Every structure is written in structure tokens, then in C-alpha cells.
């Protein structure tokens, strides 16, 4: 008795290949498995076996796709799926067709509905081509893996080979263009360019240190008492407008809080305030409870302001744009009971700009730059209309004006800017805010010498307990130095919180803290792209 799973395949030559083609209509995976056993048993060469399985799978995919194409022309289908839905489907498949086609090959039960949908879509032919390409990768993987390892071929072998093949399929075409190579290198270099790691990855080593500090101070959340004058110490969701209102008004950028409400009323409030205070565009808009620069946008006209308010229905701040051109993050702290506070760090923020060569488009210039390519998707989303524009030789184009790392700003350690005069200026400002002991001032200024003397700066916002000493993202620093700064910052935060607890201020409980985080991130709705 034949050991093959399909006994009827006990034939030879072309008939065997024809049987494999037909068998794929019943079960593609089992047929590829059987083809591999035939190759291992010497009954069939590997090339005819792979070709037969591929032809059968391709015919089946084409048949399903054709069913979708024919069905889409029926009146009862058109009544249930309007043209707009077909257009959305077509655009989605056009953007993600390759990835979806390959993913569906590894996810049972997804390919048939996708092929039917592609057949119904106006431009679904491209997805069918991608499905053929996916089969061309998948079939040899399964057939040859079974042929090499036999019936006991471990699933991880197939998966590892498949993963390698998918990486190759995605990577090899990029090697043939300059932009493609830049995209590939940007992805690979993120492994060691830690300033571009996702926040959750970068903060993982902090977890055992956090646990040690919690044990030392006998509380997981004692640090939330670090700033009794800010709700929960400034963890998340605190009102930026309320904080700015408690600072010396001559030191801050003028600010308007636009509360939630009817869109027309919000627009009228903005117009009335601009007229009353003689504000002119551009203005800077941001959520009143934003995080990590999300939703910060420079708006250049009334139409843009109305669009921003419509897209962000929550409370937002409007501020006249401070021309700078310099921006800094000043991380300040004062131990409770001590007379004077200190500057923990200053971050010097550098705004990205490209310079034209008279030949390259903006997109090409961004991808060619060793740093800008790391955040190319952010820059190109912001400058979509100019992506294909060729910049003249020497022409400079700013890519971002917001001092947020995630939006493209380069952070440098600004310890050279720290002077006794600067420290005294921020200490005096912080003391005017009752219940504030630690956090980061984001400021704009026009003259470095004047700034070092403690004058000529305007506070854009003040962040509390969970603000970062952002100089740790200086790319010239070794990773150990960045973590040393982060660990010192959190040790300081726990220490100040514990001192305030001893003075009678109650930290937020664990359950309450989790509730704050859950509520903030569930309700936050902002346009994340900054200017």
C-alpha cells in the first residue's frame, strides 16, 4: 500500500502532475504536502511537482477572483454595495495589496473572501497578481521542506523559511533604487539608533529600577505626590491652560483655552480673542491635555484654524506663534523644604531642514539624508503636496517647526546654556507656582546670550511628573548615558514624592492611576501630526 496521503496518485509522469493540479482544488496544503513526499520518494522531480501545485493554486485563485468579478456586475450586488464602497475597497487593495496577499497565504480562511473582494473591486487585478506571487513563494517552501525533511517536517522550519522568503521578497526589490536602499537602511539602523525606538521598548530597562524605587519608598505611586499643585502630580491629562495660568503671565506665551462645544461658538471665541488681543496668524494649536507633541500644529490662516477645531473637538489651546528661532526644554527640580531649586538639564532643540541641489525632489532629499530618512514618513505626510517638487540649488525648506522629537526635532544636550542666572530665573518662576517641584519648561527664545542671562524667553508650556529630561535623546550620547540620566530622573521623582508624602500630601493610588491613564487614552481624539 502506498504511503502517500493520496493513493490515487500512484501513477506516473504527466498524469501525476495533472492529478496534483486537480487535487489543489480540494486542499492546497495537503496537495503540496503530498507533492513533497513524491519528490522525497523519487516518484517526481521537484520542478514538475512545484509547477503542478502552483498551476493548480493559480487556477483556483483566478477562478475565485473571476466569481467576484462576475458577481459584482449583478444588480442585487450593486444595490447592496454602492460605488463608493467599491472605490474604497479598490484604494485599500491598491495600498496594501502586496502585504495582504502574502499575509493571507499564512492565515487560513482569509484568501477566498479577499479574492472575491478583489474581483469585485474596479482595480482588483493587481491583488490577483500579488496572490500569484505569494503562491510562487509558498508552494516551493512547502513542497521542498517536506521533500527535505519528510513527513515529520517541523512546522517551524517552514515558518522560518517562509519568514526569510518574505523578508527577501520585500527587501530585494528595494536594493535596485537609491530611495529603496535608503528605506531599507532606515529600517535596519533602527536596531541600534535607540533614539528612534518605540517608547515601550526604550522604557523596558526602567521596569526593574522602578520596582526597586517602589520597594525603597514603600509605594508604587509615591512619585505622583511630587507636584501637589498639579492633579496626580502631572501624570497625564492635566490641563495645560490651568498650569500656564499659575505661572507669571509676563513669562509665558499668551494663551487662549478653546473649550469643547458647538463648532460655531468655538470659532467665534477664537475670532473675538484674536481681535481683542490683536493676534495675527500664524497661531499654534495643541490639545489642552496632549502628550508627546500629539496634535501640535502651526496654523497659517482662519480656514486652517476652523479645520483644526473641527478635527479636534476636545479642549484645545491657541497661542501666537513665537518666532524663536530657538527652543529649549528646561528640566527643573526643587527638594521640598529647600530654599533654592536646580536645573537638572537643558535640551537644545534643532529643527530639521533640507537644502536643494537643483536635481532631487523633496522626497529624494529626505530619503537621502542619514537622519531625516528615519522619520521620512512623518515629514512626507506633512509635506505631501511638495514631495515631488525639485528644490533649487541652495534652496532651504524647513521640515518641522514643533519642538517634539517624535515630530522630527533633533534633541541635543544643552548643558552649555546653563548659568547661575538662568537657574535663578527658573527658580523664581517655579516658586510662583504653589505645589510645583519638578517638571520641564518648554521655552522659545531669540538670543542664546540673552537666554543664558535669564532673560528674553517665553514659556510655551510646563509639564509635570512624567515629563522627560529630553537631553537623553541626544544621538551623540552612548546608550548607557541616556539610561543613567533616565534612572537619575526617576530616583529624583520618587525622592521628591516621598518628601511631599511626609509633609502630608497623599499620592494617587494604583487603581486611581490606572483609571486616569485608561480614561485619557480612551477619550483622547487629536490629529497627531504636528507642524
How far is Cα 442 from Cα 405, in angstroms, rounded to an integer? 13
> Which residue, 124, 146, 176, sits at the end of a domain?
176
Residue 73 maps to a domain: yes
According to DSSP, the residues that pair with 327 across neighbouring strands are 349, 444
Q: Are 94 and 128 in contact (CB under 8 A)?
A: no
Cα 459 to Cα 287, 344, 406, 456, 507, distances in angstroms: 16, 17, 20, 10, 28
Closest CA to 527 of 350, 299, 319, 335: 299
- Is the confidence at residue 251, as pLDDT, over 70? yes
Residue 380 maps to a domain: yes
> Which residue, 473, 491, 506, sits at the end of a domain?
473
- Is the confidence at residue 160, as pLDDT, over 60? no
Q: What's the pLDDT score for residue 263?
A: 92
Q: Is the dihedral of CA 300, 305, 306, 308 positive or negative?
A: positive
Higher confidence at residue 241 or residue 37? 241
Number of domains comprising the chain = 2
Q: What's the pLDDT score for residue 10?
A: 46
According to DSSP, the residues that pair with 410 across neighbouring strands are 350
How far is Cα 103 from Cα 444, in angstroms, rounded to an integer? 47
> Which residue, 176, 195, 230, sits at the end of a domain?
176
Q: What's the pLDDT score for residue 168?
A: 57
Residue 425 maps to a domain: yes
**Percentage of residues of the chain with pLDDT beyond 70:** 83
In terms of residue numbers, what domain contains 448? 326-473
Residue 140 maps to a domain: yes
Q: Are 390 and 360 in contact (CB under 8 A)?
A: yes
pLDDT tier, 5 (very low <50, low <70, confident <90, very high otherwise): very low
Residue 282 maps to a domain: no
How far is Cα 373 from Cα 359, in angstroms, rounded to an integer? 18
pLDDT tier, 187 (very low <50, low <70, confident <90, very high otherwise): confident
Closest CA to 445 of 345, 302, 328: 328
Name the pTM for this structure: 0.71
Closest CA to 440 of 473, 480, 407: 473
On average, the pLDDT of the chain sits at 85
Q: pLDDT by residue (tens digit) across 203-235?
A: 999 999 999 999 999 999 999 999 999 998 888
According to DSSP, the residues that pair with 412 across neighbouring strands are 348
- Is the confidence at residue 338, as pLDDT, over 90? yes
Residue 443 maps to a domain: yes
Residue 138: CB atoms within 10 A of its CB come to: 23
How far is Cα 509 from Cα 506, in angstroms, rounded to an integer? 9
Instruction: Name every residue whose Cβ is closer than 8 Å to that of residue 64 and which is 6 or more positions away in sequence.
Output: 112, 115, 116, 119
Amino acid at each position: 500500500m502506498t504511503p502517500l496521503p493520496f493513493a490515487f496518485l500512484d501513477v506516473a509522469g504527466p498524469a501525476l502532475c495533472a492529478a496534483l493540479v486537480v487535487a489543489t482544488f480540494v486542499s492546497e496544503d495537503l496537495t503540496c504536502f503530498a507533492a513533497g513526499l513524491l519528490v522525497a520518494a523519487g516518484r517526481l522531480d521537484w520542478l514538475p511537482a512545484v509547477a503542478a501545485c502552483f498551476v493548480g493554486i493559480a487556477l483556483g485563485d483566478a477562478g475565485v477572483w473571476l466569481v467576484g468579478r462576475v458577481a459584482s456586475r449583478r444588480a442585487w450586488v450593486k444595490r447592496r454595495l454602492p460605488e463608493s464602497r467599491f472605490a474604497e475597497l479598490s484604494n485599500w487593495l491598491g495600498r496594501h495589496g502586496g502585504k495582504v496577499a502574502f499575509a493571507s497565504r499564512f492565515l487560513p480562511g482569509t484568501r477566498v473572501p479577499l479574492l472575491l473582494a478583489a474581483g469585485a473591486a474596479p482595480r482588483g487585478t493587481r491583488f490577483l497578481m500579488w496572490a500569484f506571487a505569494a503562491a510562487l513563494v509558498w508552494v516551493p517552501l512547502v513542497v521542498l521542506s517536506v521533500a527535505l525533511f519528510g513527513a515529520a517536517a517541523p512546522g517551524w522550519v517552514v515558518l522560518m523559511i517562509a519568514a526569510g522568503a518574505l523578508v527577501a521578497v520585500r527587501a530585494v526589490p528595494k536594493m535596485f533604487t537609491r530611495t529603496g536602499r535608503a528605506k531599507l537602511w532606515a529600517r535596519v539602523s533602527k536596531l541600534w539608533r535607540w533614539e528612534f525606538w518605540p517608547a515601550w521598548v526604550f522604557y523596558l530597562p526602567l521596569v526593574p529600577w522602578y520596582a526597586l524605587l517602589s520597594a525603597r519608598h514603600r509605594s508604587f505611586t509615591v512619585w505622583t505626590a511630587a507636584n501637589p499643585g498639579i492633579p496626580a502630580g502631572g501624570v497625564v491629562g492635566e490641563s495645560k491652560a490651568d498650569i500656564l495660568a499659575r505661572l507669571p503671565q509676563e513669562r509665558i506665551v499668551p494663551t487662549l483655552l478653546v473649550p469643547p462645544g458647538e463648532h460655531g461658538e468655538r470659532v467665534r471665541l477664537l475670532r473675538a480673542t484674536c481681535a481683542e488681543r490683536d493676534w495675527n496668524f500664524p497661531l499654534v494649536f495643541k490639545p489642552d491635555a496632549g502628550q508627546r507633541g500629539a496634535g501640535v500644529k502651526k496654523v497659517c490662516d482662519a480656514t486652517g484654524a476652523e479645520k483644526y477645531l473641527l478635527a479636534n473637538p476636545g479642549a484645545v489651546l491657541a497661542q501666537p506663534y513665537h518666532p524663536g528661532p530657538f527652543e529649549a526644554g528646561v528640566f527643573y527640580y526643587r527638594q521640598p523644604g529647600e530654599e533654592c531649586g536646580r536645573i537638572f538639564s537643558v535640551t537644545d532643540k534643532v529643527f530639521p531642514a533640507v537644502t536643494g541641489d537643483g536635481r532631487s525632489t523633496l522626497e529624494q532629499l529626505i530619503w537621502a539624508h542619514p537622519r531625516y530618512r528615519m522619520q521620512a514618513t512623518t515629514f512626507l505626510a506633512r509635506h505631501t503636496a511638495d514631495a515631488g517638487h525639485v528644490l533649487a540649488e541652495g534652496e532651504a525648506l524647513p521640515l518641522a517647526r514643533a519642538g517634539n522629537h517624535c515630530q522630527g526635532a533633533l534633541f541635543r544636550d544643552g548643558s552649555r546654556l546653563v548659568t547661575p542666572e538662568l537657574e535663578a530665573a527658573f527658580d523664581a518662576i517655579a516658586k510662583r507656582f504653589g505645589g510645583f517641584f519638578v517638571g520641564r519648561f518648554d521655552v522659545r527664545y531669540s538670543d542664546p546670550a540673552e537666554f543664558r542671562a535669564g532673560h528674553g524667553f517665553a514659556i510655551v508650556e510646563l509639564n509635570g511628573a512624567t515629563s522627560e529630561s529630553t537631553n537623553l535623546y541626544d544621538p551623540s550620547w552612548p546608550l548607557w548615558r541616556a539610561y543613567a540620566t533616565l534612572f537619575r530622573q526617576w530616583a529624583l521623582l520618587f525622592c521628591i514624592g516621598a518628601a511631599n508624602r511626609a509633609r502630608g500630601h497623599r499620592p494617587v493610588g494604583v487603581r486611581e492611576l490606572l483609571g486616569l491613564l485608561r480614561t485619557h487614552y480612551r477619550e483622547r481624539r487629536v490629529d497627531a501630526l504636528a507642524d
